[in-house]
A and B are shown apart, each in its own frame.
Chain A
Amino acid sequence: NAGVTQTPKFQVLKTGQSMTLQCAQDMNHNSMYWYRQDPGMGLRLIYYSASEGTTDKGEVPNGYNVSRLNKREFSLRLESAAPSQTSVYFCASSLKGEYRNEQFFGPGTRLTVL
């Protein structure tokens, strides 16, 4: 039982390049989330998926797209990377999109955009 896994762990991009961050969970959770973590700003929600087949914007969605591929997988895509997207990205999942349900976090992807 791996929990929440993310690939890659590290990535360096040049401005304008695109890439997809992958996230998978094996806990049969319904809801999944993408956050970014920046120094002095805590974690901010980019997008979330309350259930398979649905996605919605969070606090900082600009410059990102997401795909809920199936119940297990939720990917985050940067179409044209910018230096402002240099950050650590965390994926999380919860049993349901309700306040009582704990969110479980992956180990993160450290992205640098030059």
Chain B
Amino acid sequence: AQSVTQPDIHITVSEGASLELRCNYSYGATPYLFWYVQSPGQGLQLLLKYFSGDTLVQGIKGFEAEFKRSQSSFNLRKPSVHWSDAAEYFCAVVGVTGGGNKLTFGTGTQLKVEL
């Protein structure tokens, strides 16, 4: 079965600083990977996704992620963080098993942005 690990529960960065959120996955075949963001009191919004091809994926709000098969990682990055990026971020992998788009989520990383 697939699994996702987000080793950092909380991260604090200063506004304008760069950001990297870590995600490691475990999956027997080619993984299909996602990053979602959850603002306080809101549902989840898709930031970006990786299915195949170019290992550097661009998303919304200036985020990007790099797929590294050798490290089983799909880390999320942003060159310069804005205060509005404070939220919880979830990495997810989909299990392509006999029908159904079954996402398996990591436990999330809470991002705090200091002004």
Binding site for B on A (CB under 8 A): 4, 31, 33, 40-45, 48, 50, 56, 58, 90, 92, 94, 96-103, 105-108
Contacts and interface: CB of A to CB of B under 8 A. Distances in A.
A102 B49 contact: yes
Contacts of B46: 102-103
B43 interface: yes
A72 to B, nearest CB: 17
A90 B45 CA distance: 12
A50 B100 contact: yes
Interface string B1-35: 00010000100000000000000000000001000
B90 A42 contact: yes
Interface of B: 4, 9, 32, 36, 41-46, 49, 51, 90, 94, 96, 99-103, 105-108
Given A42-B4, A42-B106, A99-B32, 13 more contacts: A42-B90, A42-B108, A43-B103, A50-B100, A58-B102, A92-B44, A94-B101, A96-B101, A101-B101, A102-B46, A103-B103, A105-B45, A108-B43
Given A4-B43, A90-B43, A44 B100 contact: no
Contacts of B43: 4, 90, 92, 105-108
A8 B39 CA distance: 19
A31 B101 CA distance: 8
Contacts of A48: 100, 102
Nearest to B94: A99
A44 B90 CA distance: 12
11 contacts: A42-B90, A44-B105, A45-B103, A56-B100, A94-B101, A99-B51, A100-B32, A101-B101, A102-B49, A107-B41, A108-B42
A31 to B, nearest CB: 6
Given A99-B51, A102-B49, A107-B42, A42 B105 contact: yes
